[in-house]
Amino acid sequence: MIKWDDSYNIGIKTIDEQHQYLFKLCRNLEMLLETPNVIYKVDDAIKIICEFRNYITYHFYFEEMYFSIAQYDNLTTHIAEHEQFKDKILDINISNFYKENYDELKTLINFLYSWIFDHITKKDIILKNFI
């Protein structure tokens, strides 16, 4: 598990808060998996995944707007990375949850933490230079 650290801030308060919320959603998924015998585990997992899908759409739109205003040269590449990430989230087979097969979710949590951390600290941080 990666915990939020203020060193991940890019200097745009709204985007930094959104990034923190993405970490929170990852943590919510992680806590759900760590909790044994949760009655509504399937429903809760689906709600979190759906919230994640909705939130990243909002966040990426907001972030891309900032990059566009800043006239970032590699905006097209940045947007393509966001699209690949969204595709990965949309490809989650939620029906596995009903079989109480959470392996895909465990893999997803690792992917989420890794991708979000890497993207913020290597890609989004570039926006700091345009402020």
Give 25-57 pLDDT, tens digit per residue.
999 988 888 877 666 678 888 898 899 999 999
Query: Which of 106 and 28 is assigned the larger pLDDT?
Result: 28
Closest to 108 measured CA to CA, from 94, 118, 120: 94
- Per the listing, tokens 């759409």 go with 57
Name the percent of the chain lying above pLDDT 90: 37
Classify domain 11-130 by CATH number.
1.20.120.50
What Å distances lie between residue 87 and 8, 9, 41, 98, CA to CA? 24, 25, 24, 22
Cβ contacts of 89 within 8 Å, gap of 6 or more: 49, 52, 53, 56
Token look-up 């739109």 returns 61
Report the pLDDT value the prediction gives residue 96, as an integer from 0 to 100: 73
Question: Average pLDDT in the 10-26 region?
Answer: 93
Q: Residue 38 has what pLDDT?
A: 61
3 pLDDT exceeds 90?
A: no
